[in-house]
Structure 1
Amino acid sequence: MGRHRNDPRGIAQMVAIGGVIVLFVTLVVLGGYFLYRSLPSDDEAAVPESAGTTAAPQADDVETGVLYVRVVGDSSDVVVRVPGGDVLADTTLKTDEYLSFDEEQPMDVTIGQPGEVEVYVHGELRDLAGEDPGYSFSVQP
Protein backbone atom coordinates (compact mmCIF):
# COMPACT_ATOMS: atom_id res chain seq x y z
CA MET A 1 0.00 0.00 0.00
CA GLY A 2 1.19 3.54 -0.73
CA ARG A 3 1.74 6.35 1.70
CA HIS A 4 -1.03 8.70 2.45
CA ARG A 5 -0.61 12.44 2.11
CA ASN A 6 -0.86 12.98 5.82
CA ASP A 7 1.74 10.33 6.70
CA PRO A 8 4.02 11.87 9.38
CA ARG A 9 7.16 10.40 7.82
CA GLY A 10 6.31 11.87 4.43
CA ILE A 11 5.66 15.27 5.94
CA ALA A 12 8.94 15.13 7.87
CA GLN A 13 10.81 14.24 4.68
CA MET A 14 9.21 17.12 2.79
CA VAL A 15 10.08 19.55 5.60
CA ALA A 16 13.67 18.26 5.61
CA ILE A 17 13.94 18.68 1.82
CA GLY A 18 12.44 22.16 2.09
CA GLY A 19 14.95 23.04 4.81
CA VAL A 20 17.85 21.84 2.65
CA ILE A 21 16.57 23.94 -0.26
CA VAL A 22 16.24 27.03 1.94
CA LEU A 23 19.74 26.46 3.35
CA PHE A 24 21.19 26.06 -0.16
CA VAL A 25 19.50 29.22 -1.45
CA THR A 26 20.69 31.15 1.63
CA LEU A 27 24.29 30.00 1.12
CA VAL A 28 24.19 30.95 -2.57
CA VAL A 29 22.80 34.40 -1.78
CA LEU A 30 25.34 35.02 0.99
CA GLY A 31 28.18 33.77 -1.21
CA GLY A 32 27.12 36.13 -3.99
CA TYR A 33 26.81 39.03 -1.57
CA PHE A 34 30.28 38.53 -0.08
CA LEU A 35 31.80 38.00 -3.53
CA TYR A 36 30.25 41.29 -4.67
CA ARG A 37 31.55 43.08 -1.55
CA SER A 38 35.08 41.75 -2.14
CA LEU A 39 35.26 43.19 -5.66
CA PRO A 40 36.93 46.61 -5.85
CA SER A 41 34.82 49.59 -6.83
CA ASP A 42 36.10 51.97 -9.51
CA ASP A 43 37.72 54.24 -6.90
CA GLU A 44 39.20 51.42 -4.84
CA ALA A 45 40.78 49.79 -7.87
CA ALA A 46 42.76 52.94 -8.55
CA VAL A 47 44.17 53.34 -5.06
CA PRO A 48 47.41 51.43 -4.49
CA GLU A 49 48.04 49.21 -1.49
CA SER A 50 50.39 51.84 -0.08
CA ALA A 51 47.53 54.33 0.20
CA GLY A 52 45.70 54.93 3.45
CA THR A 53 44.08 57.45 5.70
CA THR A 54 45.04 59.09 8.94
CA ALA A 55 43.44 61.56 11.31
CA ALA A 56 46.12 64.26 11.51
CA PRO A 57 49.60 63.24 10.43
CA GLN A 58 52.58 65.44 11.14
CA ALA A 59 55.47 65.46 8.67
CA ASP A 60 57.79 64.12 11.38
CA ASP A 61 55.44 61.25 12.28
CA VAL A 62 54.66 60.00 8.77
CA GLU A 63 56.95 58.19 6.38
CA THR A 64 56.76 60.46 3.36
CA GLY A 65 58.79 58.17 1.09
CA VAL A 66 59.59 59.41 -2.39
CA LEU A 67 56.14 60.99 -2.83
CA TYR A 68 53.50 61.79 -0.22
CA VAL A 69 50.24 63.58 -1.07
CA ARG A 70 47.66 64.38 1.64
CA VAL A 71 44.47 66.39 1.29
CA VAL A 72 44.29 69.19 3.84
CA GLY A 73 41.26 70.87 2.23
CA ASP A 74 38.02 69.31 1.01
CA SER A 75 39.20 67.03 -1.81
CA SER A 76 41.42 66.76 -4.85
CA ASP A 77 41.88 64.44 -7.81
CA VAL A 78 45.33 62.86 -7.82
CA VAL A 79 46.89 60.98 -10.73
CA VAL A 80 50.28 59.31 -10.36
CA ARG A 81 51.80 57.41 -13.27
CA VAL A 82 55.07 56.08 -14.53
CA PRO A 83 55.98 58.20 -17.61
CA GLY A 84 54.76 56.28 -20.65
CA GLY A 85 53.70 53.38 -18.45
CA ASP A 86 51.47 52.21 -15.63
CA VAL A 87 48.99 54.36 -13.74
CA LEU A 88 49.86 53.97 -10.07
CA ALA A 89 46.89 55.98 -8.79
CA ASP A 90 43.93 57.80 -10.33
CA THR A 91 41.61 58.75 -7.51
CA THR A 92 39.82 61.51 -5.64
CA LEU A 93 41.13 61.96 -2.12
CA LYS A 94 39.07 63.64 0.59
CA THR A 95 40.16 65.45 3.78
CA ASP A 96 43.03 63.66 5.59
CA GLU A 97 43.31 60.89 2.99
CA TYR A 98 46.74 60.39 1.51
CA LEU A 99 48.86 58.49 -0.98
CA SER A 100 52.45 57.52 -0.36
CA PHE A 101 54.89 56.00 -2.85
CA ASP A 102 58.39 54.57 -2.51
CA GLU A 103 58.81 53.87 -6.22
CA GLU A 104 62.31 53.42 -7.59
CA GLN A 105 61.31 54.92 -10.93
CA PRO A 106 60.27 58.36 -12.20
CA MET A 107 56.65 59.40 -11.60
CA ASP A 108 54.45 62.03 -13.23
CA VAL A 109 51.99 63.58 -10.78
CA THR A 110 48.86 65.63 -11.54
CA ILE A 111 47.03 67.38 -8.70
CA GLY A 112 43.47 68.50 -9.45
CA GLN A 113 43.29 71.14 -6.71
CA PRO A 114 46.85 72.09 -5.63
CA GLY A 115 45.60 74.43 -2.90
CA GLU A 116 43.83 71.51 -1.19
CA VAL A 117 46.88 69.26 -0.75
CA GLU A 118 50.18 68.91 1.04
CA VAL A 119 52.89 67.35 -1.13
CA TYR A 120 56.21 65.98 0.07
CA VAL A 121 58.88 64.88 -2.41
CA HIS A 122 61.78 62.99 -0.81
CA GLY A 123 60.57 64.26 2.57
CA GLU A 124 60.58 67.93 1.60
CA LEU A 125 57.34 69.93 1.52
CA ARG A 126 56.50 71.46 -1.87
CA ASP A 127 54.26 74.51 -1.72
CA LEU A 128 51.64 74.11 -4.45
CA ALA A 129 49.11 76.59 -3.04
CA GLY A 130 49.58 79.11 -5.86
CA GLU A 131 49.44 76.58 -8.71
CA ASP A 132 46.55 76.27 -11.20
CA PRO A 133 44.09 73.35 -11.06
CA GLY A 134 45.44 70.29 -12.85
CA TYR A 135 49.03 71.16 -11.91
CA SER A 136 51.54 68.51 -13.02
CA PHE A 137 55.13 67.79 -12.01
CA SER A 138 57.65 64.95 -12.19
CA VAL A 139 59.36 63.10 -9.36
CA GLN A 140 62.72 61.38 -9.79
CA PRO A 141 63.63 58.39 -7.58
Structure 2
Amino acid sequence: MSKQLICPTDGVQVNETKVRLVAGLVLTIAIVYLLTASLWAGSLLLPLLLLIDFGLRGSEWARYSPLGYVADWLVSALNLSYKGTDQAPKRFAARIGLGFSLLIAGLQLAGSPTLIPTAVLALFAALESGLGFCAGCYVYTLYVRLFPKALN
Protein backbone atom coordinates (compact mmCIF):
# COMPACT_ATOMS: atom_id res chain seq x y z
CA MET A 1 0.00 0.00 0.00
CA SER A 2 1.31 3.47 -0.84
CA LYS A 3 2.28 6.06 1.77
CA GLN A 4 -0.50 8.34 0.52
CA LEU A 5 -3.17 9.54 2.93
CA ILE A 6 -6.57 7.92 2.68
CA CYS A 7 -9.40 10.16 3.83
CA PRO A 8 -13.01 9.09 4.11
CA THR A 9 -15.25 10.92 1.65
CA ASP A 10 -18.99 11.09 1.14
CA GLY A 11 -19.37 13.94 -1.35
CA VAL A 12 -21.29 16.12 1.13
CA GLN A 13 -19.76 19.56 1.52
CA VAL A 14 -19.58 21.52 4.78
CA ASN A 15 -18.17 24.97 5.52
CA GLU A 16 -14.51 24.63 6.54
CA THR A 17 -14.67 28.10 8.09
CA LYS A 18 -17.37 26.85 10.46
CA VAL A 19 -15.45 23.62 11.13
CA ARG A 20 -12.37 25.61 12.11
CA LEU A 21 -14.43 27.87 14.38
CA VAL A 22 -15.92 24.82 16.10
CA ALA A 23 -12.38 23.47 16.58
CA GLY A 24 -11.43 26.81 18.13
CA LEU A 25 -14.36 26.51 20.53
CA VAL A 26 -13.28 22.96 21.44
CA LEU A 27 -9.76 24.27 22.05
CA THR A 28 -11.12 27.03 24.28
CA ILE A 29 -13.25 24.59 26.28
CA ALA A 30 -10.30 22.19 26.67
CA ILE A 31 -8.03 25.00 27.90
CA VAL A 32 -10.64 26.28 30.35
CA TYR A 33 -11.11 22.71 31.59
CA LEU A 34 -7.34 22.22 32.00
CA LEU A 35 -7.06 25.46 33.96
CA THR A 36 -10.09 24.97 36.20
CA ALA A 37 -10.74 21.22 36.60
CA SER A 38 -8.97 20.97 39.94
CA LEU A 39 -10.53 24.21 41.21
CA TRP A 40 -14.12 23.82 40.17
CA ALA A 41 -16.46 21.29 41.77
CA GLY A 42 -18.60 21.04 38.62
CA SER A 43 -15.66 20.24 36.39
CA LEU A 44 -17.50 17.34 34.75
CA LEU A 45 -19.71 19.87 32.96
CA LEU A 46 -17.16 20.79 30.28
CA PRO A 47 -16.23 17.19 29.34
CA LEU A 48 -19.96 16.37 29.17
CA LEU A 49 -20.55 19.37 26.89
CA LEU A 50 -17.80 18.13 24.59
CA LEU A 51 -19.13 14.56 24.80
CA ILE A 52 -22.62 15.67 23.73
CA ASP A 53 -21.33 18.00 21.03
CA PHE A 54 -18.92 15.47 19.51
CA GLY A 55 -21.67 12.83 19.67
CA LEU A 56 -24.02 15.05 17.70
CA ARG A 57 -21.39 16.14 15.17
CA GLY A 58 -20.23 12.55 14.66
CA SER A 59 -23.76 11.46 13.79
CA GLU A 60 -26.66 12.44 11.59
CA TRP A 61 -27.68 15.03 14.22
CA ALA A 62 -24.79 17.44 13.59
CA ARG A 63 -27.26 20.28 12.94
CA TYR A 64 -28.12 20.21 16.69
CA SER A 65 -24.52 20.75 17.84
CA PRO A 66 -24.33 23.56 20.44
CA LEU A 67 -20.85 24.50 19.23
CA GLY A 68 -22.14 24.37 15.65
CA TYR A 69 -24.83 26.91 16.57
CA VAL A 70 -22.21 29.24 18.04
CA ALA A 71 -19.98 28.81 14.99
CA ASP A 72 -22.93 29.49 12.64
CA TRP A 73 -23.64 32.69 14.56
CA LEU A 74 -19.97 33.73 14.34
CA VAL A 75 -19.82 33.02 10.60
CA SER A 76 -22.91 35.16 10.09
CA ALA A 77 -22.00 37.96 12.52
CA LEU A 78 -18.46 38.26 11.18
CA ASN A 79 -19.58 37.76 7.56
CA LEU A 80 -17.00 35.01 7.04
CA SER A 81 -16.71 33.34 3.67
CA TYR A 82 -17.78 29.81 2.78
CA LYS A 83 -15.05 27.33 1.92
CA GLY A 84 -16.30 23.87 1.04
CA THR A 85 -14.71 20.69 2.34
CA ASP A 86 -15.89 17.09 2.48
CA GLN A 87 -17.85 16.30 5.64
CA ALA A 88 -16.69 12.67 6.09
CA PRO A 89 -13.19 13.39 7.50
CA LYS A 90 -14.70 15.96 9.86
CA ARG A 91 -17.35 13.48 11.04
CA PHE A 92 -14.66 10.83 11.55
CA ALA A 93 -12.60 13.34 13.58
CA ALA A 94 -15.71 14.17 15.64
CA ARG A 95 -16.05 10.48 16.47
CA ILE A 96 -12.44 10.43 17.65
CA GLY A 97 -13.22 13.54 19.73
CA LEU A 98 -16.21 11.68 21.15
CA GLY A 99 -13.88 8.90 22.29
CA PHE A 100 -11.50 11.39 23.90
CA SER A 101 -14.40 13.19 25.62
CA LEU A 102 -15.73 9.89 26.93
CA LEU A 103 -12.26 9.02 28.24
CA ILE A 104 -11.88 12.44 29.90
CA ALA A 105 -15.33 12.25 31.52
CA GLY A 106 -14.68 8.68 32.71
CA LEU A 107 -11.31 9.60 34.18
CA GLN A 108 -12.86 12.66 35.84
CA LEU A 109 -15.58 10.51 37.40
CA ALA A 110 -12.97 8.02 38.60
CA GLY A 111 -10.90 10.81 40.15
CA SER A 112 -7.99 10.08 37.82
CA PRO A 113 -5.81 12.62 36.01
CA THR A 114 -7.19 13.93 32.72
CA LEU A 115 -4.24 16.07 31.64
CA ILE A 116 -2.91 13.88 28.83
CA PRO A 117 -6.16 13.10 26.96
CA THR A 118 -7.33 16.70 27.37
CA ALA A 119 -3.99 18.04 26.10
CA VAL A 120 -4.12 15.70 23.07
CA LEU A 121 -7.68 16.80 22.31
CA ALA A 122 -6.59 20.45 22.65
CA LEU A 123 -3.62 19.86 20.33
CA PHE A 124 -5.78 18.32 17.60
CA ALA A 125 -8.33 21.14 17.97
CA ALA A 126 -5.53 23.72 17.74
CA LEU A 127 -4.15 22.11 14.57
CA GLU A 128 -7.60 22.10 12.94
CA SER A 129 -8.53 25.58 14.09
CA GLY A 130 -5.24 27.33 13.42
CA LEU A 131 -3.83 25.44 10.46
CA GLY A 132 -6.77 23.57 8.95
CA PHE A 133 -4.84 20.35 9.65
CA CYS A 134 -7.21 17.43 10.19
CA ALA A 135 -5.53 14.67 12.15
CA GLY A 136 -8.53 12.48 11.36
CA CYS A 137 -7.13 11.65 7.90
CA TYR A 138 -3.91 10.38 9.47
CA VAL A 139 -5.79 8.30 12.04
CA TYR A 140 -8.12 6.97 9.32
CA THR A 141 -5.16 6.04 7.10
CA LEU A 142 -3.54 4.19 10.00
CA TYR A 143 -6.85 2.43 10.75
CA VAL A 144 -7.24 1.33 7.12
CA ARG A 145 -3.68 -0.02 7.06
CA LEU A 146 -4.08 -1.88 10.38
CA PHE A 147 -7.59 -3.22 9.69
CA PRO A 148 -8.04 -3.36 5.89
CA LYS A 149 -10.95 -5.81 6.04
CA ALA A 150 -12.92 -3.62 8.46
CA LEU A 151 -14.10 -1.43 5.56
CA ASN A 152 -15.52 -4.29 3.52
TM-score of Structure 1 vs Structure 2, range by shorter chain: under 0.3
Larger proportion of strand: 1
Higher relative contact order (CA 8 A, sep 6+): 2
Q: TM-score, normalised to structure 2's length?
A: 0.22
Instruction: Say which structure is richer in helix.
Output: 2
Structure ID, larger Rg: 1
Task: Please give the TM-score of this superposition, normalised by the length of structure 1.
Answer: 0.23
